[in-house]
């Protein structure tokens, strides 16, 4: 494992200094470098992965740097509402330092960690934050004289969906006619049962639907989870609900981006470059739908509705080539034709993503995230500068880290 310590990148396995560092740039600094610089770095001969693990207080301020005990791990990011980021890590547990204990121990169920991934360019270390994670299931182990602890972690949505701490017994009610942004805030700031709100951080909310009013009474009752309520509310405004790399809840619709094909390319892959290890294409035809009809509420005898169809001739699954493959959705919380159309487009995109995926096994690439666009030139697979959207990322956390990407061709999801 390569970590930063006292001005050096240190290989903790061999206990040697690999390189000196004179400057660090924080937050998601890769985006400031530009695509050409990124490609020069990650397609070069020597790429040194660097990792940093922080234990956090509940308010997400740094409690301690745990990097020296960090042995290995893996990170997964999956496009979906709800839990999007997960991580497994192994720590050296010398003198039972990391044994889980409530109150007196360093960690317990729900303890928070933060992962940063880095890259050295000349003498500057650039960092990208990869998420705020909650401890779910610790497992201690001893092999000969080596004592370790393995932790399974989820992102902060685990506080809301029952993964961590179970289901709340409290009741929160949001009445009809409240702006959606306010409704989300009321629920997220409600007491989780110990006098502390579910989250301290602000919500980054979809501007288009920030003032859309609730059409129904939102109730958090015993046995329900906030996670179920949040994703249900997100469906009403055709938005994903999830946590980003900084631990902020995001409520965002990507329908407009797909309609306008507004996905700036952040990276380019070429078949014979050193950053690609292998590639394959998978077809998942059974999950595909190319016509979505949404039926909403009935008001004064009129039922709100809309239909979205895939008629893009560049898509292998368009109606012209396959006939109609329909799906019908009924949601009485949709009280306008516009909301029904947004939902139909949203569902059409989600049904189509993954229908035909490109899987790339790559070297260490900490710069990428879900819903970013990359350009792929891979002639042996019949791909000539094709634009792809990222569906999933998995990354090993080690000195020889690798990244696996799952991507959907944007031709399949632009209608």
* pLDDT tens for each residue of 171-186: 778 888 999 999 999 9
Of the pLDDT bands very low, low, confident and very high (cuts 50, 70, 90), residue 145 is low
Confidence label for 33 from pLDDT (cuts 50, 70 and 90)? confident
Does the predicted TM-score (pTM) go above 0.85?
Answer: yes
Q: Could you tell me which of 126, 75, 154, 89 has the C-alpha nearest to residue 401?
A: 75
Confidence of residue 26 (pLDDT cuts 50, 70, 90): confident
Name the average pLDDT for the chain.
Answer: 90
Kindly report, residue by residue over 87-112, the tens digit of the pLDDT. Answer: 999 999 988 899 999 888 999 989 99
CA 289 to chain centroid, in Å, comes to: 24
The confidence score (pLDDT) of residue 52 equals: 96
Cβ neighbours of residue 59 under 8 Å, at least 6 residues apart? 200
239 pLDDT higher than 90: yes
pLDDT on residue 27:
63
CA distance 10 to 217: 55
Give the model's pLDDT for residue 225. 86
**For 337-385, how does the pLDDT look when each residue is reduced to its tens digit (9 = 90+)?**
999 999 999 999 999 988 889 999 999 999 999 999 999 999 999 999 9
Q: Report, as an integer, the average pLDDT of 271-294.
A: 92
Confidence at 327, pLDDT banded by 50, 70, 90: very high
**Is 296:332 a contact under the CB 8 Å cutoff?**
yes
Answer whether residue 115 shows pLDDT above 90: yes
- In this prediction, residue 222 has a pLDDT band, given cuts at 50, 70 and 90, of low
């Amino acid at each position: 494992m390569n970590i930063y310590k006292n001005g050096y990148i240190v290989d903790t396995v061999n206990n040697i200094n690999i390189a000196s560092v004179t400057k660090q740039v924080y937050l998601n600094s890769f985006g400031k470098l530009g695509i050409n610089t990124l490609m020069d770095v990650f397609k070069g001969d020597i790429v040194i992965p660097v990792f940093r693990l922080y234990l956090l207080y509940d308010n997400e301020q740094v409690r301690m740097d745990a990097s020296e005990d960090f042995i290995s791990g893996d990170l997964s990011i999956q496009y979906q509402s709800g839990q999007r980021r997960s991580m497994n890590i192994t720590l050296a547990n010398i003198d039972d330092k990391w044994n889980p204990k409530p109150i007196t121990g360093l960690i317990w169920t729900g303890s928070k960690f933060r992962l940063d991934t880095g890259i050295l360019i000349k003498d500057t270390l650039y960092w990208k934050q990869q998420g705020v994670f909650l401890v779910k299931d610790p497992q201690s182990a001893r092999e000969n004289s080596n004592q370790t602890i393995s932790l399974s972690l989820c992102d902060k949505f685990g506080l809301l969906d029952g993964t961590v701490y179970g289901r709340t017994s409290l009741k929160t009610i949001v009445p009809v006619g409240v702006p959606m942004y306010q409704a989300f805030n009321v629920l997220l700031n409600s007491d989780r049962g110990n006098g502390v709100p579910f989250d301290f951080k602000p919500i980054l909310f979809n501007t288009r639907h920030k003032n859309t009013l609730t059409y129904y009474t939102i109730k958090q009752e015993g046995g329900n989870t906030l996670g179920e309520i949040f994703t249900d509310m997100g469906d009403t405004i055709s938005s994903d609900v999830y946590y980003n790399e900084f631990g902020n809840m995001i409520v965002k619709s990507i329908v407009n981006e797909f309609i306008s094909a507004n996905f700036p390319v952040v990276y380019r892959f070429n078949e014979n470059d050193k950053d690609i290890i292998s590639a394959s294409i998978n077809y998942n035809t059974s999950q595909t739908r190319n016509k979505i009809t949404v039926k909403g509420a009935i008001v004064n005898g009129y039922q709100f509705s809309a239909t979205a169809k895939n008629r893009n001739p560049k898509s292998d699954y368009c109606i012209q080539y396959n006939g109609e493959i329909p799906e019908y959705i009924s949601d009485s919380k949709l009280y306008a034709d516009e909301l029904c159309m947004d939902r139909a487009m949203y569902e059409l995109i989600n049904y189509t993503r993954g229908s035909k995926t490109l899987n790339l096994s790559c070297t260490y690439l900490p710069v990428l995230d879900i819903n970013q666009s990359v350009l792929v030139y891979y002639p042996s697979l019949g791909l000539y500068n094709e634009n792809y959207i990222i569906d999933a990322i998995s990354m090993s956390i080690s000195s020889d880290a690798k990244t696996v990407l799952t991507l959907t061709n944007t031709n399949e999801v632009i209608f």
